[in-house]
């Protein structure tokens, strides 16, 4: 039996915690529905979440009665509306992505797997207060033509056609951010050229889930 969207969302946030992408009540995730989206609730530790905890919201930002959605519902809604090919959004405060984000850095093409995020770098959106429309606006801009971005002094967002893909991209971006942080301890790394990245993107078109 195919899991319901609420079951998929619960499994995704449990996987995020197990993978070390989130701790405590940090982070959130959403999945597209026909008439809106389903999102994790505000301030509930992952171990206390249930299928019934998930919050339905329509495209106006109205949540179902008696439930409080994640404070970051605005960028979930706006990303899903701006990107019709995206079916799921995950947000985390993982250690190394957040470290690089707190440096205000884009992650450059030091490794070919940067293409996982859809471009020649992983952009870092400018800082904006959490839970605000301003944060949503800079997140949508940083995600243009991308599958992931960093949020300055905050964390990371990853998107995918399904929750499984968004989660896989988040895990890969966190791995890349760890590698980049370690390289920075030795100085600025040598980068791949635009021509080399062009070849990587061409190769990625037929490479596993990243090419889908």
Query: In the chain, what percentage of residues exceed pLDDT 90?
Result: 89
Mapped onto helix, strand or coil, the DSSP state of residue 100 is helix
| CB proximity list for 111: less than 8 A, separation 6 or greater | 176, 179, 192
Considering the candidates 11, 47, 64, 72, report the single residue annotated as catalytic.
72
For residue 9, count other CB atoms closer than 10 A to its CB.
27
| CATH code for the domain in which residue 139 is found | 3.40.225.10
Check residue 15 and give its pLDDT.
93
Check residue 2 and give its pLDDT.
84
Check residue 56 and give its pLDDT.
97
Check residue 25 and give its pLDDT.
79
For this structure, is 72 an active site residue? yes
* 60 phi and psi angles, rounded to 5 deg: -85, -10
The mean pLDDT value for 115-124 works out to 97
Terminal-to-terminal C-alpha distance of the chain: 24
pLDDT at 208 over 80: no
Reading across the β-sheet that carries 148-151, which strands appear in turn?
A: 55-57, 36-39, 28-33, 88-92, 155-160, 148-151, 124-125
The mean pLDDT value for 51-77 works out to 96
Domain that holds residue 148: 5-211
The mean pLDDT value for 70-97 works out to 97
The number of distinct structural domains making up the chain is 1
Higher pLDDT, 47 or 142: 142
Give me the residue label for tokens 């959106």: 125
Query: pLDDT tens digits for 152-161?
Result: 999 999 999 9
Predicted TM-score (pTM) of this structure: 0.94
């Amino acid at each position: 039996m195919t899991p319901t969207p609420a079951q998929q969302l619960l499994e995704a946030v449990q996987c995020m915690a197990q993978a070390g992408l989130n701790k405590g009540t940090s982070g959130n995730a959403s999945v597209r529905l026909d008439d809106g989206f389903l999102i994790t609730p505000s301030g509930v530790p992952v171990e206390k979440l249930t299928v019934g905890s998930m919050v339905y919201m329509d495209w106006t930002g109205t949540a179902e009665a008696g439930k409080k959605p994640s404070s970051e519902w605005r960028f979930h809604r706006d990303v899903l509306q701006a990107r019709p090919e995206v079916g799921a959004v995950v947000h985390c405060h993982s250690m190394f992505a957040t470290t690089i984000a707190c440096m205000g850095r884009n992650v450059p093409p030091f490794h070919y797997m940067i293409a996982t995020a859809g471009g020649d770098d992983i952009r870092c959106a400018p800082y904006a207060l959490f839970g605000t429309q301003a944060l949503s606006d800079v997140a949508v801009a940083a995600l243009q033509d991308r599958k992931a971005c960093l949020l300055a002094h905050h964390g990371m967002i990853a998107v995918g056609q399904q929750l499984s893909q968004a989660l896989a991209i988040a895990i890969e971006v966190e791995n890349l951010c760890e590698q980049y942080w370690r390289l920075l301890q030795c100085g600025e790394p040598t980068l791949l050229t635009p021509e080399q990245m062009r070849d990587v993107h061409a190769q990625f078109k037929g490479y596993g889930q990243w090419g889908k």
